[in-house]
Amino acid sequence: MVLGSRVLFVISLLLSCGAAAAESVTPAEFRLKAPQAKRVSVVGTFNGWDPDAHPLHGPDRNGVWTLSLSLTSGRYRYMFVVDGVRWTADPNAVASQDDGFGKRNSLLFHGH
């Protein structure tokens, strides 16, 4: 009977950990006004800085590109890549930091 109780406890613990992890994943909204762009993507610490990983949708009639991306809570550095060649910081980011290459990385404090 003790073994059965332990198995139930472990299963309950695993299920509660999974539920807690699922609850901490929430959407982050990325937006960039770039009406002349043919393609915009977001790159950052959440996708290995891969310009092909997360393209934004758009532009809408106001020239805005958007993407809702599910992320766990945390601090992320990111930039936008316009037309595959122009890396640019988010002009609406609340904070940024030097990227070490003469530009600025935008900072996202997600779920804080």
- DSSP string covering 42-109, please? EEETTTTT-TTT-BPB---TTSEEEEEEEEESEEEEEEEEETTTEEE--TT-SEEEE-SSSSEEEEEE
Global pTM reads 0.77
pLDDT 10s digits, 45-79: 999 999 999 999 999 999 999 999 999 999 999 99
Give yes or no for residue 107 having a pLDDT over 60.
yes
pLDDT(5) > 90: no
What's the pLDDT tens digit per position in 7-31? 333 334 334 444 444 458 899 999 9
Q: Which CATH number fits domain 27-110: 2.40.370.10, 2.60.40.10, 3.10.350.10, 3.40.50.2300?
A: 2.60.40.10
Instruction: Write down the pLDDT at residue 112.
Output: 64
Sign of the alpha-carbon dihedral angle for 53, 59, 30, 104: positive
